[in-house]
Amino acid sequence: MPKTIAEHDKVINTTGREGYAAQFAVYDAKRRNEAALANNPAFFKSAAHTRRIEVVKRLVQKFFGTDKGMYVSHREGSSGRQPFTSVKIANPKFPKGARAELAAFSQRIRALGNIEIVFSAQTKSYIYRIS
């Protein structure tokens, strides 16, 4: 069950089994985030990694014109992957003329080094995985 109103808000618009699945997803994401931070403190707290996260957030906010729907989560990595931080923006609205700017925006993100850009069709979101 939700412990705070903020956690409850994340599942309030669901019904039936969806509510349980969404509620579990919130708790699972929180658990995985906390485990990643506990198991890799030097990586996630390093000045260089923290700076890259902030730069990615600023670039994403500037390009999409908002940070609504943006959140940050930390993951341990799996299948031999190193830990990473995800900056995710859900349902982004592309600004007019964005096609011309998209390549330059993606290039600026990738220039920061070791960042994977993923589009999730299921959640209609862009995920920037910073390793």
What is residue 101's predicted lDDT score, i.e. its pLDDT? 82
CATH number at residue 119: 3.30.1460
Q: What residues make up the domain containing 11?
A: 1-39
63 and 107 share a domain? yes
Buried b (16+ CB within 10 A) or exposed e, 60-73: beebbeeeeebeee
Question: Per-residue confidence at 52, pLDDT binned at 50, 70, 90?
Answer: very high
Give this prediction's pTM. 0.77
Provide CB contacts within 8 A for 59, sequence distance 6+: 105, 108, 109
21 and 76 share a domain? no
19 and 64 share a domain? no
pLDDT digits (tens, 9 = 90+) for 68-87: 788 899 999 877 789 999 99
Q: How many domains does the chain have?
A: 2
What is residue 4's predicted lDDT score, i.e. its pLDDT? 43
75 and 92 share a domain? yes
82 and 116 share a domain? yes
pLDDT digits (tens, 9 = 90+) for 82-103: 999 999 998 888 777 777 788 8
65 and 105 share a domain? yes
